[in-house]
Amino acid sequence: MKFVFADSLDFVDPAYDFIADRNGAGRAVHRDDQFPHEFLDVAPYDGILVSRGIVGDALILGKYTEAQLMRFRREGARRFLRYPKERFPDSMMMGDCGAFTYRNLPEPPYRAADTVEFYGDGGFTHGCSPDHLIFDFDDQGAERLPSEVPEDTRRRFEITQQNAAEFIHAAKSLGPRFVPMGVIQGWSAPSMADAAVGLAKMGYNYLAVGGTVPLRIEQIRRALAAVRDAVPQHVRLHLLGFGKIEQLADIERHGVTSFDTTSPLMRAFKDARKNYWVRSRTGELSYYTAIRIPQAIENNRLKNKALEGRINQEEARTLEKAALEGVRKVARREVGIEEALDAVMAYWDALNWDDEVSPSRRADSLNRQRRIYARTLEDRPWEGCDCRVCREGGVEALIFRNSNRNKRRGMHNLHVFHQHLCDFRADAA
Ligand SMILES: [Zn+2]
């Protein structure tokens, strides 16, 4: 099973100075930054997915600046991402339309012809047909027929199929080395199977299962089983936006050949607890919580409090500094963890992170958080990892602070997940 990383300009500055908290001297955004496959010793994925919705254009505002967008279109995805085929042979450079970005529009803003042009300019090896998300998904035994679903749902199904029919035809201009992927959207396992049969008949040999982000693993399993049963064995399956990555065995059992996700990176700073990943001795993924020490001068919560006269900014900076020093001293074994936790929690208390007003509930929440952080500092997980993030940054990767630390932690997670996947593949072989 191939793991494709869905990029959204996830790079770090390799010269970032953690102590001064600033970028390397003269750093130019993107040019001097490094993507995970550049920063880490080994690329932690088998391919990269770029969504039109992330790149953006005149129709949909993306994450790229106008200059980046122009360079991307001019140079192609591989040069822009510095992910050359020579260095990463067999890697997938995959494109999709990013259906989530236009989910509220009556129909996709992209047509088959301009999508093919986008994939052609970008030099993609694989590209998805322009699909339209369907949101509701039937429970087992309660599957609705096409005549029973709302008109909008049926229309989204039909638009996705119609676009796929136009796309496979238009994609012929990209030559035989480009692999068109037909996207499956449906409201139930049977409707997804119908969609898959339709796409296979159009000539697709690679199908991408869409709309699975909000689904439970049981629903994904059911959808995959129905799709797999309905299409010939030579048709490959890709799972779009697969967040439940602990369930690798489930999807592999249903004949999925590739999936894309941002999960390992995103959970480093979006998850409340599972920020820093490790593998247990038995090969399971387990997690540590990163220690929140936000930048006092840039933190909006603190800014607002200062404006309201509830906290003095000088005081906040003193607390921030003590918290950082405490954690670093633990890493150097200069102080015990209780001393460091006192400083971390004093800063937390000043931030009143939970906006808890009742003193007793506030004390409870502080104690709970303190115990979670104690585990992180006691176990010293950064010492057990040999990836570049941990080797160079040590405990800095465990500090939840700014993009350079948070994304580094995300890259460490990609490294851990990649090892996990490699072992899984070795076991499955
Ligand atoms: Zn690491």
Of 10, 96, 138, 194, catalytic:
96
DSSP character string of 351-416: HTTT---SHHHHHHHHHHHHHHHHHHHHH-GGGG--SHHHHHHGGGGGEE-SHHHHHHHHHHHHHH
At residue 337, does pLDDT exceed 80? yes
For residue 36, report the phi and psi dihedrals to the nearest 5 degrees.
-55, -40
Give the rounded percent of residues in the chain with a pLDDT score beyond 90.
85
Report CA(289)–ligand 1 centroid distance (Å). 14
Of 139-143, 241-245, 304-308, 325-329, the least confident: 304-308
Residues of the chain above pLDDT 70, percent: 99
The answer to whether 57 is a known catalytic residue is no
pLDDT single digits (tens) 141-179: 999 999 999 999 999 999 999 999 999 999 999 999 999
> How does residue 351 score in pLDDT terms, banded at 50, 70 and 90?
confident
In contact, 400 and 290? CB cutoff 8 Å? yes
CB 168 within 8 A of CB 130: no
- Position 353 scores a pLDDT of 60
To the query of whether residue 260 is one of the catalytic residues in this protein, the response is yes
State residue 78's pLDDT score: 97
Going from the Cα of 365 to the center of ligand 1, the distance in angstroms, rounded, reads: 29
The tokens 């505002």 sit on which residue? 61
- Rounded CA-CA distance 142/137 in Å is 10
* Predicted local distance difference test score (pLDDT) of residue 312: 80
* Across 51-79, average pLDDT: 91
Each residue of 269-319: pLDDT tens digit? 999 999 999 999 888 999 999 999 998 877 777 777 777 777 788 888 999
Query: Which of 247, 239, 174 minimizes the C-alpha distance to 217?
Result: 247
Give tens-digit pLDDT for 89-144.
999 999 999 999 999 999 999 999 999 999 999 999 999 999 999 988 999 999 99
> Which pLDDT does position 313 carry in this prediction?
81
Bridge partners of 261, per DSSP, are 5
Distance from the alpha carbon of residue 383 to the mean position of ligand 1, in angstroms: 8
pLDDT of amino acid 309: 74
The predicted pLDDT at position 355 comes to 66
Question: Which of 345-354, 370-379, 401-410, 411-420 comes out lowest in average pLDDT?
Answer: 345-354
Q: Determine which one of 10, 13, 131, 260 is catalytic.
A: 260
At residue 398, the pLDDT reads 97
User: Crossing angle, helix 313-331 and helix 337-351, to 10 degrees?
Assistant: 150
Binning pLDDT at 50, 70 and 90, where does residue 401 land?
very high
- Output the pLDDT for position 303: 75
For residues 13-19, give the mean pLDDT: 97
Type of residue at 334: E
- Burial track 17-40 (b if 16+ CB lie within 10 A, e otherwise): ebeeeebeeeeeebeebbbbbebb
Element (H, E) at 194: helix 189-202
Q: Are 390 and 412 in contact (CB under 8 A)?
A: yes
| Residue-wise burial string across 154-170, b where 16 or more C-beta atoms lie within 10 A, e elsewhere | bebbebbbebbbbbbeb
Residue 147 burial (10 A CB sphere; 0-12, 13-18, 19+): exposed
Grade residue 411 by pLDDT with cuts at 50, 70 and 90: very high
Query: Please, which contacts does 382-386 make with residues 24 or more away whose CB atoms are closer than 8 Å?
Result: 382/331, 384/278, 385/278, 385/412, 385/415, 385/416
CB 413 within 8 A of CB 265: yes
- Are 128 and 208 in contact by the 8 Å Cβ rule? The answer is yes
For residues 17-45, give the mean pLDDT: 96
Residue 354 reports pLDDT greater than 70: no
pLDDT at 316: 87
Between 39-53, 180-194, 356-370, the lowest mean confidence (pLDDT) is in: 356-370
Q: What is the mean pLDDT of residues 246-255?
A: 93
Q: Is the pLDDT of residue 356 over 80?
A: no
- Distance (angstroms) between ligand 1 centre and the Cα of 185 equals 37
Q: What separation in Å is there between the alpha carbon of 68 and the centre of ligand 1? A: 30
Query: What is the average per-residue pLDDT within 176-198?
Result: 98
Distance from residue 412's CA to the centre of ligand 1 (Å): 4
**Average pLDDT of the residues of the chain:** 94
- Angle at which helices 403-428 and 263-270 pack, to 10 degrees? 140
pLDDT of residue 307: 73
Instruction: For residue 62, give both structure tokens.
Output: 């993306």
